[in-house]
Amino acid sequence: MINKLSDKDKKDWNNFLNSKEKLEVKDKETYKKTKIPEKSIDLHGLTLEEANIKISKFINYCFENNVKKINVITGKGMRSKNLDDPYKSSNLSILKHSIPEFIQNDTDLMSKIIKIDFDAVNSQSSGNFDIFLKTIK
């Protein structure tokens, strides 16, 4: 079956092509709804105690403010002074491994968390990892 375009359809199409008017994005509300609220926290350079206190407060703040994803920046330890101290391992990213362990051992924090991205924690090339939070009911 061959459909022929009417003269009106051709005229409308030419008007559309020659128009400088922008089309409205009908899906823009959908985009706003699907964007995941997220925040980042930079812990590198802090001591273990300082980092544990800061991450604990930050997780609670984010949970109360409906943030769904936290990007935790710990650094890879490449610029640390571990090489100057023979009692510290240059192979370990201390904060990157101790922060998730601290969180897992805190039942109050874990009650607010869906998942910690342990693939990123265990990756040697990554200096950060994500935490996904539950929704307040």
Task: Number of helices (H) and strands (E) in the chain: give both, helices first.
Answer: 6, 4
Tens digit of pLDDT for each residue in 66-85?
Answer: 999 999 999 865 554 544 44
What is the pLDDT confidence band of residue 24, given thresholds at 50, 70 and 90? confident
Tokens of 115: 């998942």
**Bridge partners (DSSP) listed for residue 131:** 70, 116
DSSP characters over 53-98? HHHHHHHHHHHHTT--EEEEE---STTSGGGG-TTS-TT--HHHHH
Tell me the mean pLDDT in the region 31-47. Answer: 80
> What are the pLDDT digits (tens) for 80-136?
454 444 434 444 468 888 999 999 999 999 999 999 999 988 888 888 999 999 988
pLDDT of residue 121: 87
What does the alpha-carbon distance between residue 115 and residue 134 come to, in Å, rounded to a whole number?
Answer: 9
Beta-carbon count within 10 A of 73 CB? 14
Q: Which residue has the higher pLDDT, 5 or 59?
A: 59
C-alpha 46/C-alpha 76 separation (Å) is: 13
Over 90: is that where the pLDDT of 30 sits?
A: no
Record the tokens describing residue 38, joined without a space: 């997220």
Domain boundaries, the chain: 37-133
Cα gap 93→125, rounded to integer Å: 11
Q: Does domain 37-133 have CATH number 3.30.1370.110?
A: yes
Query: What's the pLDDT at 5?
Result: 81
Return the bridge partners of 69, or none.
38, 132
pLDDT digits (tens, 9 = 90+) for 48-70: 999 999 999 999 999 999 999 99
Q: Are strands 38-42 and 113-116 parallel, antiparallel or unpaired?
A: unpaired
pLDDT of amino acid 116: 94
| Per-residue confidence (pLDDT) for residue 1, from 0 to 100 | 54
The answer on pLDDT for 40 being more than 70 is yes
pLDDT at position 91 is: 46
